[in-house]
Structure 1
Amino acid sequence: MSKHRWSIEQKRLHVAAWRASGLTRQQYCELNDIPFKSLREWPKDVAKAERRANEPTILPVQIATPLHADAPPPVTNEPVTLFLPGGIRMCVSGSPEPY
């Protein structure tokens, strides 16, 4: 007999349904034909998947030259704000004018 492979979405739905049901983990498993050992691990699997999905990523940025000759020059001294995990906000002001 082969093992059933549960997707992370199926795990997430069952964990939420179990928690909302008011049943013990054992009762929920018996009613839904899920191995107890599997449901015991799923909350950790779901949390790990959510952390992975929320990991910050670095995106490459390239400043392109204007397409039209009459385009205004690019703004170089505008501040940049980065919003980081945990509610941290990092503001960087424009560079000072050269001497």
Structure 2
Amino acid sequence: MAQRRRTREQWRELVEGWPRSGLTQQAYCERHGVAPGSLQRWREVFRQARARGHDQTAEAVRLVPVQWVDALPTVVTPLILVLADGQRLEIAPDFDTATLKRVLTVLQEAA
């Protein structure tokens, strides 16, 4: 039998074609110039791929259109300071730093 390199897809066609042919494995292999051991090996390769969920007989990959949408609004939570006496100070995300410094100074002086 002449050696011939076949692609994975060609082997898939040979493996899937044998049961449909109605021929014995030996007759099918002789007709297609394939060693029976090679056909068996490729049957096992494809069987294992199916078992692992990597069966490539599924529909070919296709591209689908994607529609971009504006980013979802980000939920921003305030900064919460809990003072030693249990009081809570909630500071909005867009706080004025100068005002916060003054508030902290007042709180430190009061402590």
- Interval containing the TM-score (normalised by the shorter chain): 0.3 to 0.5
* TM-score normalized with structure 2 length: 0.42
If asked which structure has higher relative contact order (CA below 8 Å, sep 6+), I would say 1
